[in-house]
A and B are shown apart, each in its own frame.
Chain A
């Protein structure tokens, strides 16, 4: 094989079933009739002690088979293991304490998912709230609440690294340029969510889990250990198709443990399909990272040293394979640049957010966001051309293989050529002309550039760089990227290839059939590709799975070696059958023939079936050629050395991107005018697949750059629980990038291929950010580049108006706030007494079933709140304080119910207008959490206002002896409808009476 691309136009084999609804995804596969369904009861608060958990009613619901809490989970499992030694226990359910919204607290197993969810609604929990820690800055504060008491702080790792002589470089350099950036939380949100069918066999003490888990299968060990069984007693199987993963499905392993325990306790197979709200809230997230990056720079823009300070937010627990996001790029911290002086400080903190894990790009977006913003700042501050700054610093082609400061070994590349070709073929010159023209018209137009190295085929040992060399020595070395493939022939002479890598849309079948067909002189259509994995039957190892863009380089590589070995053995058989020497045999188009006489030929099938039908005719050593299984690992992937140098990945592709964007100053919207992305991913195995990967990575990157954020409110509520609030861009928002290629094959992989699946998630967000920085002429850029953030960056003053700005009110800092007033025909005292009377309150609180006085000024009420179609039952606790009878009172309240929880405070004043009339003025601030906040935050303010207004309107009505309120005043929050609502309700009520 010496063509640069192999069968590059062959159509995808897998698409027929996929586009006709005949894919075999997790939820399509048949289950046993005994299989029960699981639903998860999750925390609605970010940080609290579980004071009371009552699952009795849930257990009693007909159709419920089991309700499992931390008691059962702890009885059958051990905590989930993680790669650093810290006193943090991570269980798949909350134990005594919840640490993020969506954390599983209990699971229900029932005959149907409907019943299971009914039972979830019956679970009661009382939380004693702790302060939520919602940002990296906050987590590091000395007085911040601590998530894991035994740890003593929220910092779970702090390591520093030094390579070369950074101090000297900074001292000698002409300039120091630095950036301070925050990479936000986001996720690649596969279409298919998590899914598991788990079973337990008590006789053999064996667990079986069918799951769309994607690997790495090092996690198999974590699950087996958690379940306290030998690895061979955990049978993990994967379905043939997976509806996208992008790393995300790695993080379902805690649920695998949970479902296994549930199956064991319930005594039946248990199935769980995660829903979208669960997925967005609590599956996993990419890490958020706060980075300060400084560079020592010469006047020509040559970077002499880098000094990184990275603080990684891994969420509420550090969960395997973290802290891998922070260490995946360890060998690549200088990107595509030849910089040999490097200092790094890596810190990891925990916050009350969903734990993090694999996500397309995995550490790359975070690193390049800082590094390439820095390169842009160097150009701006030193008044240089950004492209020149990149070019000045690129590793030169004669330096390959290139050893980076921190130990990475870059396999191949011609970065200068790639940049030149990108600028030429991509039309950079015209883009500059276009920008200048746009600017002359007064438009905000900017150009961004980025150069990146895209690592692929991860070294399983890089994560141990988080340990000190001494700790590493004690733990024993970890390294490699072992991949496996089996190529076999059956008695009919047909060929099958099996790999331990489940396709998630990447087209494994097409590419593998091509690779193996190419080796064996067969048509791709003649090769059967099997991609399901069953750990009890199939070949696999810890690096198995579909991640770190390892498919083309490692998995196809292993398959080609296996096919090659089989070919050699079959050639020997053919030689003996043709009665010629082995080197005289040719394998072309399904037949072995003699080199000098093509008419002397035997079909491939005939030769291949010989081992089955006539093994006795085969001479030579070893078993007959029926099956070749290859376990391949590259020698270049060594464990980190004593100086913390590590080659974190095997392959290093190169990307150079540039783009033009226009920012609409009126609407804050960013439009991508042109995007050019140049890739050198080594040898291309299938052009369509490679371009598909680039397009897909680009789409995810546009989402991360402009639209998406797994957002939390200050109180720790998660507020992006649907695709309305987590706005993944669609084909309408994503332009087609111009894709260009250069090719320097990797000398380290069997086929010369490198990974290409993640590059644009690394290069594109920062390229767009650089373009926006250029368009707006600003120093700092905040992702996502949403209209709100753009407006903030532009920092333009609002026009003065004669209308006085509405007074913000005492509670304006609360996410939900408001107020109002109403004048009623009653004395303050009368109203005062009503407010303290449970009987009256029961009558006037909208939807109230009961009110009880707990103590003098504390009440508990059961209320059905509803706005339009949305309604739910709540238990409301209200306490009054600062009582100044009959003038004013303050109150605090807490509401909990199936739709979520809320808490707030308020103040009421009773101002006598004259002898008979009183003006009631109220103000409140609140926040809401749980389901209603995560899926309907947009509507919460309005809904709360309606409930508050209804209450006071009702109070007013009740208080006066006759007639309607004497005139409602607009509320202090510019609430013209207050009076309207009163009148409307009044009308409504009267109509109801008539």
Chain B
């Protein structure tokens, strides 16, 4: 379990990062909290020629609220979400999902943006970004662009990012006082990736549920106008629509069962 040879570049500025990616493209990998990348390097699943460490870039670890959004810089750690003022009322979903992301130790190192970039289909933060209609700010030598969450995630560990792009920040909208959120997850153990996670949102545009851990990307489904007594049928349809598959941790039947159960619980919560 030793990585293959690579060059290590410690970037000092955002421009540095862009330059390295512009030059090396797919042969370079950004290193943030390292909680996913380091094991992949050690197991030689990933063999980049260049690793560009962004953790020393000044100000990239920042988190601020601006324009009714929480801006999360590329190296802000997951655990620092806990320090955001009024997280539970302004970002109820992040607040509810946070304890489910790995362990305290991995949250202290792992970054919010790293999790989004990694795009694990079972990860909580991509699910939250999609459920909350968040956005990603991408940067490359060619400039910057902004991508909506639902356009960003493309498949298992696949995103809309080009080889020369990296995420400079992500932004999550502040909840309105009337918005309702609910989050549920089932994993094998405390701190494991979700077998199934679900987030229900009711806001002035309607009602929707986003499911993680089943399809290749967080799957969002609208249930506008849903009444409590329709929830049973609605979640059964949802479970049947999803691409449930069997793996080591859960059979397809269990996944459907969990989708029904978690979607139903979260919907009931936001409708009550």
Contacts and interface: CB of A to CB of B under 8 A. Distances in A.
Interface stretch (A253-261, A555-563, A725-733): A725-733
Contacts of B43: 277, 931, 935
Interface string A940-973: 0111011000000000000000000000000001
A943 B154 contact: no
B250 A898 contact: no
Contacts of A938: 122, 193, 247-249
Interface string B216-259: 11000000000000001000110111110101111101101110
Contact of A730 (B26, B155, B189): B189
Given A869-B37, A935-B45, A711 B248 contact: yes
A980 B154 contact: yes
Contacts of B189: 707, 727, 729-730, 732-733
A868 B216 contact: no
A788 B251 contact: yes
Interface in B38-52: 39-40, 43-48
A802 interface: yes
In the A-B complex, list the 5 residue pairs whose CB atoms are closest, starting with the nearest. Answer: A942-B156, A868-B157, A732-B190, A666-B261, A275-B1
B191 A732 contact: yes
11 contacts: A117-B2, A719-B248, A787-B186, A868-B159, A870-B40, A870-B45, A871-B46, A898-B44, A899-B44, A943-B156, A988-B160
B195 interface: yes
A801 B236 contact: yes
A707 B190 CA distance: 12
Contacts of B121: 939, 942
Nearest to A115: B2
Contacts of B146: none
A114 interface: yes
Nearest to B188: A727
Report whether over half of chain B's contact residues are helix, strand or loop; otherwise say mixed: loop
A707 B249 CA distance: 10
- Interface residues of A, dominant DSSP: mixed
B162 A867 contact: no
A480 to B, nearest CB: 42
Nearest to B160: A984
Interface string A779-796: 000000011100110000
A669 B5 contact: no
Contacts of A497: none
Nearest to B247: A938
A702 B164 CA distance: 47
Given A727-B192, A798-B256, A869-B46, A720 B243 contact: no
Contact of A117 (B44, B156, B186): B44
Interface of B: 1-5, 26, 29, 36-37, 39-40, 43-48, 118-122, 154-160, 162, 186, 188-193, 195, 215-217, 232, 236-237, 239-243, 245, 247-251, 253-254, 256-258, 260-261
A974 B44 CA distance: 32
A803 B241 contact: yes
B67 to A, nearest CB: 27
Contacts of B186: 667, 669, 787
A974 B192 contact: no
A977 B154 contact: yes
A991 interface: yes
Interface string A849-873: 0000000000000000011111110
A951 to B, nearest CB: 14
Contact of A725 (B3, B160, B248): B248
Contact of B45 (A788, A791, A872): A872
Contact of B250 (A719, A787, A932, A939): A787
A800 B5 CA distance: 54
A793 to B, nearest CB: 12
B158 A868 contact: yes
Contacts of A977: 154-155, 215-217
B119 A799 contact: no
A27 interface: no
A668 B240 CA distance: 19
B172 to A, nearest CB: 23
Interface residues on A, range: 35 or more
A809 to B, nearest CB: 12
A946 B156 contact: yes
Contacts of B3: 114
A722 B162 CA distance: 30
A121 interface: yes
B156 A991 contact: no
Given A719-B248, A943-B156, A984-B160, A799 B1 contact: no
B46 A803 contact: no
A777 B251 CA distance: 22
A936 B45 contact: yes
Contacts of A871: 46-47
Contacts of B240: 801, 803, 805
B216 A942 contact: yes
B257 A791 contact: yes
Given A802-B237, A974-B243, 17 more contacts: A720-B248, A724-B192, A727-B249, A733-B190, A792-B251, A803-B240, A868-B156, A869-B45, A870-B157, A899-B45, A937-B248, A939-B156, A941-B247, A942-B155, A945-B155, A945-B156, A977-B216
Contacts of A786: 188, 249
B216 A945 contact: yes
B52 to A, nearest CB: 13
A787 B254 contact: yes
A573 B216 CA distance: 81
A167 interface: no
Contacts of B239: 798, 801
B257 A113 contact: no
Interface string A975-994: 10100110010001001100
Contacts of A114: 2-3, 5
B71 to A, nearest CB: 24
Nearest to B36: A869
Contacts of B216: 942, 945-946, 977
Given A668-B257, A725-B248, A730-B189, A276 B1 contact: yes
A191 interface: no
Contacts of B29: 869
Contacts of A868: 118-119, 156-159
Contacts of A711: 248
Contact of B195 (A730, A787, A792, A931): A787
Contacts of A973: 243
B173 to A, nearest CB: 23
B160 A931 contact: no
Contacts of B249: 725, 727, 786, 788, 938
Interface string A869-888: 11110000000000000000
Best-buried of A711, A722, A939 by chain B (most CB within 10 Å):
A939
A869 B2 CA distance: 16
Most buried by B among A669, A870, A931, A988: A870
A237 B39 CA distance: 32
Most chain A Cβ neighbours within 10 Å, of B122, B190, B191: B190
A89 interface: no
Contacts of A276: 1
A19 interface: no
A806 interface: yes
A868 B26 CA distance: 9
A798 B253 contact: yes
B249 to A, nearest CB: 7
B193 A724 contact: yes
B219 to A, nearest CB: 8
Contacts of B191: 730, 732
B156 A867 contact: yes
A991 B254 contact: no
Contacts of B242: 974
B258 A667 contact: yes
Contacts of B260: 799
Contacts of B254: 668, 787-788, 791
